[in-house]
Amino acid sequence: MIKRFIIAGSLILASCIPVRNVIDADLAVWMNGERLPYTSIDVESTLRDHFASIYKVDLFTQGHTWVMFINGSEEEFTLDYAIKDKDKIFLTTSAGSAQVLYELEQSN
């Protein structure tokens, strides 16, 4: 009877632990022509939440204009983008199309 209670108690405890949605997304971030080292996302979040957990300095308040591609399509840059499973996210501060194409090619 005691063993059954312990098992039942463990099941109850396990069901109370929040489980975050696990995803697999690729991330490439280029700033001033240099690729930053963070390349994957494994927990469902927004870009804002993801970067807040990695960087000590907020990259996005340093006066740069950012360009964002999601799965190969240019999108309006927003930190509120909800990252989805299998996303390929590319962010850059480069303004010239030749440099952006170079960075995209290097990121794949």
With bands split at pLDDT 50, 70 and 90, how would you rate the model's confidence at 20?
A: low
Q: Is 67 among the domain residues? A: yes
Q: Is 27 among the domain residues? A: yes
pLDDT for 6: 47
Rounded distance between C-alpha atoms, residue 12 and residue 9, angstroms: 5
Is 80 exceeded by the pLDDT of residue 25?
A: yes
Prediction pTM value:
0.68
Is 90 exceeded by the pLDDT of residue 14?
A: no
Give me the number of domains the chain comprises.
Answer: 1
Strands 22-31, 88-92: pairing kind: parallel
- Range of the structural domain that residue 77 is part of: 20-107
pLDDT for 61: 65
Q: Is 61 among the domain residues? A: yes
The DSSP bridge partners found for residue 4 are none
Q: Is 2 among the domain residues? A: no
Give the end-to-end CA distance of the chain in Å, rounded to a whole number. 57
Q: What is the CATH number of the domain that holds 51?
A: 3.10.20.30
Q: Is 15 among the domain residues? A: no
